[in-house]
Amino acid sequence: MSAAGALYTFGRFELDGRARQLRRNGERIPLSDRYLGVLLHLAAHAGEVVSKDDLVQAGWGETAVGDNSLEQAISALRRAMGPDVEVETVPRQGYRLAATVTRAIAAATDEDIDALLAPYRALLDGRAALETLERDQIRRGREVFAGIVARTPDAAPAHVGLANACVLQFEMTRADETPDTETLKLAAHHAYEACRLDTSNGEAWSTLSFILERVGTHTDAIAAARRAIALEPDNWRHQFRLASIAWGEERLRAARRTLSLLPGFALAHWLAATVLVARNMLDEAARELDAGITGKGRAPDSRFSAVALHWLRGLIHLAQGDHAAAMRHFEHELAHEAAGHLYSRECCANTAYAIGALHLREQRTAEAIAAFDAALHRLPRHPLATLGRAFASGSRPRVTSATPLTGRPMDEILCAAADHVLAGSHAAGAAIVADGLEAAPSSSAGWLLPVEPLLHVSAAPGTWNAVLGRLGARAM
């Protein structure tokens, strides 16, 4: 039997390779799976000098790590075992476990094998549930990973899965009046725990990056995503997470890299298109979205659903004056709401709002009011749908030129600008957006401006050109 399946005893310690546990006087000592791999290899060669390369292979396999990762593992083992057992450093050679070790071997039963497989089956089941991005499946995935964490609290992958499930549950509520910030805090806790348990786990850092972006620490989020990619450069999930939180050329490159690793992944096409929209390259953005919609290059058994592509494609048609094509795409987006995708409610609220703006342009006020109401039914706090409905129902636009907007969210700035546009002044609206972009930090803020339905910048291109230029420069 290999070292991984043996039972070693030394002093008050018992190292169970099959159960992947270190116990002192029968009490389990928490250690990451990789650190246990290092200790098992040392125990299998007790009294001998083991090279650093052999220990890295035992703990990390083919994952490329530096000496620092092994040094952290040795330090953790020394802390865990205290003065009772010494892990000696042999300069320029490696390490040695200075202990008298007894090794026992017992044949594994069918039940043992099944027990060993069970947590890995659960991890696969939980991940498959999360990757559907469907609300009910995400809730089920959270239950699966919570159970794994309860049974194996020192397993970094279990904490990664639970962190993912929690942040996705938060995402379901992010546009609500009271987002579920407690679940977001829980996601952050488990992501940090996963990174602590296994500093070389790329998925842990990748998950942490997405969560840090949601809690508002953008710089740390980008740093965590880049670390994940440095650890596992060919993992499409890390590239996609970087694309989801980065902006401008970095988002575009990460989305392209995602598509090279997972061809046809619709949401990566959508992320790339957002940058092109901000640059006012609408024809290029349309081609990107069409590739995502048609699934060019996508595996026939692709398990990843998507939303928002038809919504954004419809906005481009609307900005270019093709109302019939815009409506076809909007209706297609709404038709798939029942599938229960994580972002479908938010996306369909935006789609209904866009339909309201389309009807408003065509002076069909009753249809516009109904569409704005449909948007507000899904998201009662949708400011632009609220404004559009008020205008359609005969209320005068609430022109807000005297209201200080410096530092306000871009949604509020766009809404204030739309007030002026609906009142007949594109110039005043453009001035408000220009000031907002000037004060906003480097980010994707305002990326929808070229296709924003109520602002309708294509109706006064000369007035908006300078603002569009500034927005495009922010997306480089």
Q: Name the one residue in this structure whose structure tokens are 């786990």.
A: 201
CA geometry: angle 325, 265, 447, nearest 5 deg: 60
CA geometry: angle 203, 209, 212, nearest 5 deg: 140
Q: Which residues contact 183 (CB under 8 A, 6 or more apart)?
A: 166, 167, 169, 170, 173
* Cα gap 222→209, rounded to integer Å: 6
Per-residue pLDDT at 29:
87
Burial class of residue 431 in the structure, from the number of CB atoms within 10 Å of its CB (0-12 exposed, 13-18 middle, 19+ buried): middle
301 has a pLDDT exceeding 50: no
- pLDDT tens, 331-384? 999 998 877 777 888 899 999 999 999 999 999 999 999 999 999 999 998 999
Please say whether the beta carbons of 389 and 356 come within 8 A: yes
Per-residue pLDDT at 421:
92
For residue 151, the tally of other CB atoms under 10 A from its CB is 12
83 DSSP assignment? G
Per-residue pLDDT at 16:
86
Per-residue pLDDT at 129:
63
Lowest mean pLDDT among 238-252, 287-301, 427-441, 451-465: 287-301
Greater confidence (301 vs 262) lies with: 262
Burial class of residue 25 in the structure, from the number of CB atoms within 10 Å of its CB (0-12 exposed, 13-18 middle, 19+ buried): exposed
The chain-wide mean pLDDT, for the chain, equals: 86
Per-residue pLDDT at 60:
81
Please say whether the beta carbons of 297 and 265 come within 8 A: no
- Highest mean pLDDT among 102-106, 242-246, 300-304, 412-416 belongs to 242-246
Average pLDDT of 425-447? 89
First to last CA, the chain: 57
Tokens of 276: 């092109």
Average pLDDT of 188-206? 90
Q: Name the pLDDT band for 104 (thresholds 50, 70, 90).
A: confident
Tokens of 183: 């679940």
Beta strands 13-16; 27-29: pairing state: unpaired
274 has a pLDDT exceeding 50: yes
Per-residue pLDDT at 312:
96
Per-residue pLDDT at 284:
97
Burial class of residue 80 in the structure, from the number of CB atoms within 10 Å of its CB (0-12 exposed, 13-18 middle, 19+ buried): middle
Q: What percent of the chain has pLDDT over 90?
A: 42
